[in-house]
Structure 1
Amino acid sequence: MKRGAIMVLGFLFLLFNVSPSSASDDRRQKWWKWPSSAGNSICSSVVLPLYGNVYPQGFYYAQINIGHPPRPYFVDPDTGSDLTWLQCDAPCVHCTQAPHPYYRPNNDLVPCKDPLCASLHAGDHRCDDPGQCDYEVEYADGGSSLGVLINDVSLVNLTTGVRITPRLTIGCGYDQIPGPSYQPLDGVLGLGKGKTGIVSQLHSQGLIRNVVGHCFSSRGGGFLFFGDDIYDPSRVVSTPMSRDYRKHYSPGYGEVIYGGKPTGLKNLLVIFDSGSSFTYLSSQAYEGLLYLVTKELSGKPVKEAVDDKTLPFCWKGRRPFRGIRDVSKYFKPLALRFSSGWRSKTQFEIPLEGYLLISSRGNVCLGILNGTEVGLQNFNIIGDISMQDKMVIYDNEKQTIGWTPANCDRPPRPDAMSI
């Protein structure tokens, strides 16, 4: 469970779904069973408060309530992966520090032949035990979770004010390997496009439209939402999801704009990933942007702060910076420009707050990192830092990604937010 820590860089971008035939068979175990229950349905939207920040905490998290009776769990909202899983006392082989007691599962196992089980595994997968669905997910920072799928109920408040308990399929993770950017949470909230994603499951039960979005506040916190009745679509700038790259929320290829001007850094395959605290560019684009930023600072009273290890590149002024406003005369805003159709382009604006942060030492640091160095290959990740103070909307029905400036400190309909 891995998001971008400040000193150790990381992300929850899912690289692999590993079938039960992998070499990790020796980590698997026979299921232990506990009591179970189920729920019902109605149609509306769901809003969840978010906690945390990009810096200094290094991650955002939400609370979900699972089980009968419902118990709270803190989870990492991750648009880069599908499966929601909790650290699980099944019993636990390897679990990490968590804010709550490990999830104690029921005996409502998902059988191996279930379509949700098949959707987790690429191609054919064998059933070591037909009565249960084993899973293993591996993330881009090297962390992983091994476990089994179960069904359980979740306590959910709708924006209509109605409280429901839908039956959801989640992972019981009884063997976790933490990545270098591990954060002490109870699990992961999978918001991806796949059938096992929470939004897809709620949609298939007729509860919500297949839309998910988030609003990260630069002051910390924010909100997460499922459904489409909490925003004005006329104010949303949107671009089509890529038809060539369907696994993640991707607008396809983009171009970096710096200070309002094209940079020549283009043909970048971009992914929106709420599981990454920082933004990542592939090596060539990263080096090109760093060159432009460094050139812009030439001759100005700002020098590299080599002793500040908050992020790979930090700069200091004549006196400590108190906020981004103090450095606005030294840096220029960024943007990513996408093709939205024939002769049409949309632009995702990244203000200074969207790629810079002020460290605890009063220096300004670059919140865009080299993705190639950490194994992202040619992927370019828009992380939380660049999505702050925006409502970002992933509409799986219209197949669009949209965004609009927003006050993320004020969630919509706070009286109807999920507990």
Structure 2
Amino acid sequence: MLVASATMVLSLALTVLPLVVVLYLHHPAAAAAPATRSYPDFQHMNVKETIAGTRVLLPKISEYRDFNKHQHTENIGGDGRNYKLNLFHRDMIVPSRHRQGLRDRHLRLLERLRRDSARASSLIHQLSGNMSSSAATAARYQAEDIGSDVVSGLDQGSGEYFVRIGLGSPPRSQYMVIDTGSDIVWVQCQPCRQCYRQSDPVFDPSDSASFYGVSCGSSVCDRVDNAACTSGRCHYEVSYGDGSYTKGTLAMETLTFGQAVVRNVAIGCGHMNRGMFIGAAGLLGLGGGSLSFVGQLGGQTGGAFSYCLVSRGTDSSGSLEFGRGAMPVGAAWVPLVRNPRYPSFYYINLIGLGVGGIKVAVPEAVFRLDEVSGGGGVVMDTGTAVSRFPGQAYDAFRDAFLAQTTNLPRAGPVSIFDTCYNLFGFITVRVPTVSFYFSGGQILTLPARNFLIPVDDEGTFCLAFTPSGTELSIIGNIQQEGIQISVDGANGFIGFGPSVC
């Protein structure tokens, strides 16, 4: 609900909690005015129902293979069209042979954090700003033209959110990972001389009437760094230090979203791929480069898209929508920060963190992008789960949270989390709010489930943040869950709210 004041108040009626958690966003119109403390300093969280509600439900894979059942598209008149897809957490698409071992929450969490650490390490290495020129070129190639989440994820299993699309003519349904830090639509292809396991049959280009290879002289091939030419066709190859790689041909293909058809999309057709990117057939790159799906839609959608990441453990789906119609009225808009060295990534101007309604004493410069080196800054990333901050910011933030939770019994560290609590036997607990402060006066206050998460079935909860070990900050998907996030690349803004999912 919108309140007629400088502050917009949006109620998050979370399906797994009996209480209403509130997300507070300062309206951009009030950017010139000092931020006011009109939001509550504490929230109440139901411990037992949070544990029960975030148990991951593992349905049969066959229940999610019905493409028409789970996909729908809206065509909107005017200058462009909207394409809308359902969005699933990867735990819903785990192959049957992996289900039993992943039913235990703690083991599942440790596996997810292992994947997450690999993903974050990859981003930190790419975006550190202090690499040699050749290393920086390789990192840009990996991120922009192939998709680091796809390839690094092959070995590490990263990538948390999937969409279901039709590939080829006639369309074959495929699960694809969404990644805001990657710039290509990439899929495993037959003949598959070396491929990882996926839920759907591997795509066979010979069965598609719309598939055709890109010639070496094509302008599309020119946009791929280090492209090779074999028998007149454009080939790509990317390898990584962890031993994972993808090799294949660049092609044009048709993608289908329900009844809507998008023709002539440049995709990577991988014939040799190494790793364990479980479940997904490939990746739908949503980065800021020209070869991403958003970039290729271009004039059809105005470079705009919006997504809602489904909350952990629910059997519902989130959404991913492309087009100007996806831009909500009433969102709080934060300017995008451009990093010329890494244009695929969406940087935002975070200037501070808050705990319990009090801004933590961290210099704004800690979050600032270095325009010379391209290092530092704050990246919004759907492929990273846990948010990370430089050590100076994280330590101050964690200590502020600890100072306001002395009433809660502590637990030992779990994996990458160093701030945990033993809430066994509690019905509800009172926890301080966590807020992100942006330039212009906007403040995003998170629901409790987006920063204090259960790590087992025994009542252990941890603060879902960790130090980055570098100058880079990453806003991960746990902190983004349940909040409508919109990217207006053409005009240079990211919006939060007002809808929830």
> Secondary structure of the equivalent of 1:232?
coil
Distance change in 2, residues 1:313/1:261 (3 Å): closer
Aligned-pair CA distance for 1:45: 0.2
Contact 2:417 2:465 in 1 (8 A): no
Q: Residue in 2 aligned with 1:102?
A: 202
> Secondary structure of the equivalent of 1:241?
strand
Between the aligned partners of 1:140 and 1:401, the Cα distance in structure 2 is 33
Contact 2:410 2:421 in 1 (8 A): yes
**1:52 matched to 2:145:** no
Distance change in 2, residues 1:317/1:253 (3 Å): closer
Contact 1:302 1:318 in 2 (8 A): no
Contact 1:389 1:405 in 2 (8 A): no
In terms of mean alpha carbon deviation, does 108-117 or 395-404 score higher?
108-117
Between the aligned partners of 2:237 and 2:354, the Cα distance in structure 1 is 39
Aligned-pair CA distance for 1:144: 4.4
Specify the code of the residue in structure 2 equivalent to 1:166: R
> 1:361-399 CA deviation, whole Å, 9 max, x = no partner?
222122223333xxxx42211111111221101111111
Aligned-pair CA distance for 1:231: 4.5
Specify the code of the residue in structure 1 equivalent to 2:425: R
Contact 2:416 2:466 in 1 (8 A): no
Alignment equivalent of 1:155, drawn from 241, 247, 256? 256
Q: Residue in 2 aligned with 1:39?
A: none
Between the aligned partners of 1:140 and 1:337, the Cα distance in structure 2 is 36
Specify the code of the residue in structure 2 equivalent to 1:62: V
Distance change in 2, residues 1:244/1:165 (3 Å): closer
Contact 2:408 2:421 in 1 (8 A): no
Contact 1:357 1:367 in 2 (8 A): yes
Q: Residue in 2 aligned with 1:187?
A: 282
Q: Residue in 2 aligned with 1:263?
A: 360
**1:164 matched to 2:265:** no
Between the aligned partners of 2:240 and 2:336, the Cα distance in structure 1 is 22
Between the aligned partners of 2:244 and 2:477, the Cα distance in structure 1 is 20
Q: Residue in 2 aligned with 1:119?
A: 223
TM-score by length of 1: 0.72
Distance change in 2, residues 1:297/1:82 (3 Å): same
Aligned-pair CA distance for 1:137: 5.0
Between the aligned partners of 2:348 and 2:223, the Cα distance in structure 1 is 23
Between the aligned partners of 2:494 and 2:242, the Cα distance in structure 1 is 25
Aligned-pair CA distance for 1:239: 1.5
Q: Residue in 2 aligned with 1:135?
A: 236
Distance change in 2, residues 1:67/1:189 (3 Å): same
Q: Residue in 2 aligned with 1:67?
A: 168
Contact 2:189 2:271 in 1 (8 A): yes
Contact 1:156 1:166 in 2 (8 A): no
Distance change in 2, residues 1:244/1:253 (3 Å): farther
Specify the code of the residue in structure 2 equivalent to 1:71: R
Contact 2:80 2:324 in 1 (8 A): no
Distance change in 2, residues 1:188/1:153 (3 Å): same
Distance change in 2, residues 1:139/1:207 (3 Å): farther
> Secondary structure of the equivalent of 2:192?
coil
Specify the code of the residue in structure 2 equivalent to 1:49: N
Task: Note the 1:383-398 alignment, pairs <5 A.
Answer: 383-398=476-491
Contact 1:144 1:176 in 2 (8 A): yes
Give the % identical residues.
24
Aligned-pair CA distance for 1:337: 1.8
Alignment equivalent of 1:278, drawn from 381, 386, 392? 386
Between the aligned partners of 2:333 and 2:181, the Cα distance in structure 1 is 19
Between the aligned partners of 1:142 and 1:364, the Cα distance in structure 2 is 35
Contact 1:253 1:270 in 2 (8 A): yes
Alignment equivalent of 1:209, drawn from 302, 305, 309? 302
Q: Residue in 1 aligned with 2:191?
A: 90
Contact 1:371 1:380 in 2 (8 A): yes
Q: Residue in 1 aligned with 2:374?
A: none
Structure 2, unaligned runs of 5 or more: 1-53, 55-78, 92-104, 113-159, 368-376
Between the aligned partners of 2:273 and 2:415, the Cα distance in structure 1 is 28
> Secondary structure of the equivalent of 1:293?
helix
Count of matched residue pairs: 339
Between the aligned partners of 2:169 and 2:229, the Cα distance in structure 1 is 29
Between the aligned partners of 2:87 and 2:198, the Cα distance in structure 1 is 17
Between the aligned partners of 2:238 and 2:359, the Cα distance in structure 1 is 38
Structure 1, unaligned runs of 5 or more: 1-5, 7-41, 409-419
Between the aligned partners of 1:358 and 1:194, the Cα distance in structure 2 is 36
In terms of mean alpha carbon deviation, does 393-402 or 361-370 score higher?
361-370
In terms of mean alpha carbon deviation, does 217-226 or 54-63 score higher?
54-63
> Secondary structure of the equivalent of 2:302?
coil
> Secondary structure of the equivalent of 1:82?
coil
Between the aligned partners of 1:388 and 1:367, the Cα distance in structure 2 is 13
Q: Residue in 2 aligned with 1:346?
A: 442
Aligned-pair CA distance for 1:226: 0.6
**1:241 matched to 2:336:** yes
From the two aligned structures, give the one with the greater helix fraction.
2
Distance change in 2, residues 1:127/1:51 (3 Å): closer
Contact 1:50 1:61 in 2 (8 A): yes
Contact 1:148 1:171 in 2 (8 A): yes
Q: Residue in 1 aligned with 2:500?
A: 407
